[in-house]
Structure 1
Amino acid sequence: MTKSEPPHLDPRQQMWQHVHRELVKYAKPDSRFHYDFLHFTPDFHNSALAVDRLVQLPAYRTASTLLVTPENSLEELRYRALKDGKKLVVGTYRLRRGFVLLNPARIEEKDLRVASWLDGMERQGIGRHLSLAQLQDEHISVDLCVLGGLVFNTNGIVVFEGHGLFEIQWALFKEMKLLRPNTPCAAIAHDSQLVDETKLGLDAFSPDKPGEVQCDYILTPDKTFEIKEPVRPSSGLNFDALDPEGLENIPPLQELKGIRMMEQIMESDRFGANNEKASEMPLSPDEQAGISMVERIMQGFKM
């Protein structure tokens, strides 16, 4: 009886298996998830050296506000940025509690280290939960995005992202005009997480997935990679293509969908002064859903 062949793995899974074998040698375990990297993106030995490289970039030095993903590997970067007087917008785990704004001008210096922790940034007196609309009202403008991840290729593509949901964050902020289409993106990773897929006998990846954001820089403890003319998404979020469960569990997505619905209602002139008949008509289910969605989101945030 012949042995059955192992199941075929797609190229991204093959790259992850290759990385996992090496990353586990350098990764720092999480207090809750041990070495289960599918539940968190690990910090790693000498990650501070990668941060040293990042803070030398002109894009960092001139930035006032950073969008930073909630990865263990970015804790040192969050601390350094706060020490440098930069505001941080940090997504919570899988964006379940939206975004937290960390403003070092409003945080006591003794608490800056606590603010850099994922378990510390939401403590009272540290960070503030803000909706997308509230971030817009505070005139937040992101100058640099910094992300972590599990696997990157040498062409600046995020092969395995982890739980930061960076591409969703990018799309949300772009649609709300909280960042520019050419806002630079930098990734911090261990050298073992950066893979040339062609050396594994795989076809080279290109940034061709919908919504894919190609990094401008990848910083490791040993190297700085700069990607020329990285690709950015040209279209906005397609809610029809989103997983309904994901939409249900990500309040910022619900907020944006509600905002879109409200804008459509207003553009239809339903409530216009010259459209009294239309304003008396009952709201459609979609219109009512949009209004309810925005109200529900806003009630979850302290003004």
Structure 2
Amino acid sequence: MDHKGSVRERVFQDLRQVAYPDSRFHFDFGEFIADFQGSEQATERLIQHPCYQNAKCLFITPDNCLELLRYRALQDGKHVLMTTYSIRRGFWLIDPATIPKDRWLYAVTLDGMERHAKPMTLADIKTQLPLLDCMITGTGAINEAGVRFGKGHGFFDAEWGMLYRIGKITTATPSAAVVHDCQVLTETLYPEVFDTVADVIFTPTRTIEVVNAHKPTCGIVWELLDAHMFETIPPLQELKAMEADLSL
């Protein structure tokens, strides 16, 4: 974890030169995943990729650099499942068929989502949604082998673990990351058992395909889960109850 911290610090220094500040957290990259100069080009690369072209229902994290992607997905008639900041208010489904077109751009923001999207429990997702076609995230840093370092909280890995546990994704579900070129590392990094390695990385200048990306099958490793995350994230509590009830 100390090594991850030093990597983040180094990357965040470079990112500060190209990132856009957040309205809540300014340049505190430990609290949010930033949008950056060239994210439009990275988004366009992703949109042209088969993992997007063939998708009907996408999971897209609430990261700032993915706001345009969420909007473009609605324009393309796709369903978007996303979470609130830090997952504390759960999962939400953004369905373009139920939202006026002139509200789409607002609906894909954290504030607009809760006004226009449909809240989804894990039980709702399990029974009402098809298999998700792709999992898309921003991140703090990533190497060319797809090993990610986020803000240090593990939210995307928790989201993967929950959705995998209820059967909405599999090890064949592609995972994509959208980052600035300065966030891509060449050094060797090693994933933890619960880390979701990206199958493909999109930057403003490159599309990096990863071969045999590691996909965790452990669900949530409860003994390793931070107690504060469990106490403040209702979907984790719901999953724990579902497992206790043997409904999974």
Say whether the fold is shared (TM-score over 0.5).
Answer: yes
Query: Are 2:184 and 1:194 aligned?
Result: yes
Are the counterparts in 2 of residues 157 and 215 from structure 1 also a CA contact under 8 Å? yes
Letter in 1 for 2:103: D
Sort the Cα spacing of 1:106 and 1:97 in 2 relative to 1 into closer, same or farther, 3 A: same
Sort the Cα spacing of 1:160 and 1:139 in 2 relative to 1 into closer, same or farther, 3 A: closer
Aligned partners of 1:235 and 1:227: how far apart in 2?
21
Alignment correspondent of 2:36: 44
Deviation at 1:196, TM superposition (A): 1.4
The normalised TM-score by structure 1 is 0.78
Are the counterparts in 2 of residues 63 and 143 from structure 1 also a CA contact under 8 Å? yes
**Percent of aligned positions that are identical:** 38
Sort the Cα spacing of 1:163 and 1:120 in 2 relative to 1 into closer, same or farther, 3 A: farther
Are the counterparts in 2 of residues 69 and 148 from structure 1 also a CA contact under 8 Å? yes
User: What are structure 2's unaligned runs of at least 5 residues?
Assistant: none
Deviation at 1:35, TM superposition (A): 0.8
Query: Are 2:165 and 1:165 aligned?
Result: no
Are the counterparts in 1 of residues 90 and 120 from structure 2 also a CA contact under 8 Å? yes
Query: Are 2:41 and 1:57 aligned?
Result: no
Alignment correspondent of 1:223: 206
Are the counterparts in 2 of residues 15 and 195 from structure 1 also a CA contact under 8 Å? no
Sort the Cα spacing of 1:72 and 1:169 in 2 relative to 1 into closer, same or farther, 3 A: same
Aligned partners of 2:151 and 2:57: how far apart in 1?
22
Greater relative contact order: 1 or 2 (C-alpha under 8 angstroms, separation 6 or more)?
A: 2
Are the counterparts in 2 of residues 100 and 129 from structure 1 also a CA contact under 8 Å? yes
Alignment correspondent of 1:20: 12
Are the counterparts in 1 of residues 29 and 151 from structure 2 also a CA contact under 8 Å? no
What is the RMSD computed on CA atoms of the aligned residues? 1.6
Query: Are 2:218 and 1:259 aligned?
Result: no
Query: Are 2:190 and 1:206 aligned?
Result: yes
Query: Are 2:197 and 1:232 aligned?
Result: no
1:122-201 to structure 2, matched below 5 A, reads 122-123=114-115, 126-161=116-151, 165-197=155-187
Deviation at 1:11, TM superposition (A): 2.3
Per the alignment, in what secondary structure is the counterpart of residue 121 of structure 1?
helix
Query: Are 2:113 and 1:121 aligned?
Result: yes
Deviations 1:172-201 (A, max 9, x none): 00110111221000000011111112xxxx
Letter in 1 for 2:33: T
Sort the Cα spacing of 1:164 and 1:56 in 2 relative to 1 into closer, same or farther, 3 A: farther
User: What are structure 1's unaligned runs of at least 5 residues?
Assistant: 1-8, 198-203, 268-303
The normalised TM-score by structure 2 is 0.95
